Amino acid sequence: MAVEKKAAASGAANKKTVLVTGAAGALAKRVIARLHGRYNVVAVDFRRKVETDAGIPSYKVEMEKRGFEDIFLNHKIDAVLHIGRIFAHESSRDRRYNANVLGAKKLFELCKKYGVGQVLIHSTYYVYGASAYNPALLDESHPLKASEVTMDLVDSVELESLANIYLWKHPELHITILRPCNVLGPGVRNSMSLLLSHTFTPVLLGFSPMMQFLHVDDMADALVLAFEQNKPGIYNVAPDDYIPYQRAVEECGCKKLPIPGIPPVVPRFMSSLLNWGAFFPPYLINYFKYPVILDGRLFNETFGWKPKRNLNDIFTYYRKTKLSAA
């Protein structure tokens, strides 16, 4: 018994150290909770110094700034889970580009310099771009057309191309890129989650694209699995269950706020006019008009993963929150 305790105490030194970015977010918090104990976790966020459990050092730092390197000097980082990105509704386009693209560049360089053995990038399905001509069940090799849809998503696409360059140029970094579909659940603050939390939710008249949704707990499991199995590459993360957007809105207990879908300037104009930037931004309107459906088989088969929560489990949370607020 005593021997075991001793082993546990000295284990901290033998355990891998994992740097998790975006630590203030709902997804990163869950990932940290899953890693805690088995790994030494270092939490980082650009927004604030996150309150963490005992034994988890936490920093408020911007990746593109010089102070970021100190973390690598103070801790022997073995792996980086890059979850935090500035969402489009959180900052201006320039600042976002700096943080998300130049920040990532800095991150890759530091990983190289300090011999980090594994980097996991949390991307988004937005990179594929929403278009009327999209086939369904997009493979990972499908062209990334988001920058054709809008300038506001250029940072997402460039972050990926940067990650791809490092993926083949520096195989020792073991880079894995995950492209999840819409992630929802308690605490999640992306555009879709904010949107479905509202009582009145905008929908485009005559357009109800198919969508995929993933519970944030399932996504956290997927991230941890991808980290632990370490099989570098690019993977879609999505369930094989589908629902049209307007039906999802109903299932979440939202009231539909119909706005004309054509000509395309009308919804964009209404979105900017009513300042829906945070939850129905003008540049995302195409995603509420045309589908981006992912084929998640590669990830499922490679990592033996299957989401544990179904669509109804996901929507129940939004329905219940509205009921308890009423």
Partner 1 sequence: MQIQEVLSLLKNFSAKEEVLRRLVTPEIEALVAKIPKPVGSFGFDAWGYNEDSFKVGLAAFKLLYDHYFRVQVHGLEHIPKNGRVLIIPNHSGQLPMDGVLIGIAAATNPNGPRAARAMIERFFPTVPWLGNLLNSWGGVIGDPVNCVKMLESEEAIIVFPEGVRGSGKLYRDRYKLQRFGNGFMHLAMNQRTPIIPCGVVGCEETMPAIANLAPLAKLLGVPYVPVVPAPFPLPAKVILNFGEPMHFSPVRTEEEVTTRVEQVKAEIQRLINKGLQERTSIY
Binding-site ranges for partner 1 (CB under 8 A): 132-133, 135-139, 142, 204-208, 210, 240-244, 247, 251, 261-262, 290-291, 293, 295, 310-312
For residue 129, what are the CA distances in angstroms to 14, 182, 188, 309? Answer: 43, 14, 22, 26
* Local structure of 94: helix, strand or coil: helix
Residue 123 or 246: which CB sits closer to partner 1?
A: 246
Closer to partner 1 by Cβ: residue 22 or 129: 129
3-state secondary structure of 141: coil
Residue number, 216 or 311, with CB nearest to partner 1: 311
Nearer to partner 1, 205 or 278 (CB): 205
Taking the complex as a whole, how short is the minimal distance between the CB of residue 262 and partner 1, in angstroms?
6
Query: Cβ distance 129 to 146 under 8 Å?
Result: yes
Shortest distance, position 243 Cβ to partner 1, whole Å: 5
CB of 191 to partner 1, least distance (A): 22
Q: How far is the CB of 294 from partner 1 (least distance, A)?
A: 9
**Cβ-based nearer residue to partner 1, 228 or 313:** 313
> Beta 79-82 vs 17-21: how paired, if at all?
parallel
Region of 195 (left: φ > 0; alpha: ψ -120 to 50; beta: rest) is alpha
DSSP three-state, residue 248:
helix
Nearer to partner 1, 190 or 246 (CB): 246
Supply the minimum distance, in Å, between the C-beta of residue 59 and partner 1: 41
* Nearer residue to partner 1 within complex by CB, 61 or 137: 137
DSSP E strands, the chain: 17-21, 40-45, 58-60, 79-82, 118-122, 175-180, 182-184, 200-204, 210-211, 213-215, 233-237, 243-244, 255-259
Q: In this structure, how many other beta carbons lie within 10 angstroms of the beta carbon of residue 162?
A: 18
Least distance (Å) between residue 258 CB and partner 1: 11
* C-beta of residue 157 within 8 angstroms of C-beta of residue 146: yes
Encoded tokens for 144: 């990334």
Closer to partner 1 at the Cβ: 169 or 306? 306
* Helices and strands counted in the chain (H then E): 13, 13
Q: Least separation, in Å, of the C-beta of 280 and partner 1?
A: 18
By C-alpha distance, which of 251, 238, 248 is closest to 306?
238
Distance in angstroms (rounded) separating the CA atoms of residues 298 and 141: 11
Nearest-angstrom CA–CA distance, 198 and 95: 28
Residue nearer to partner 1 on the CB measure, 225 or 266:
266
CB of 290 to partner 1, least distance (A): 6
Supply the minimum distance, in Å, between the C-beta of residue 302 and partner 1. Answer: 18
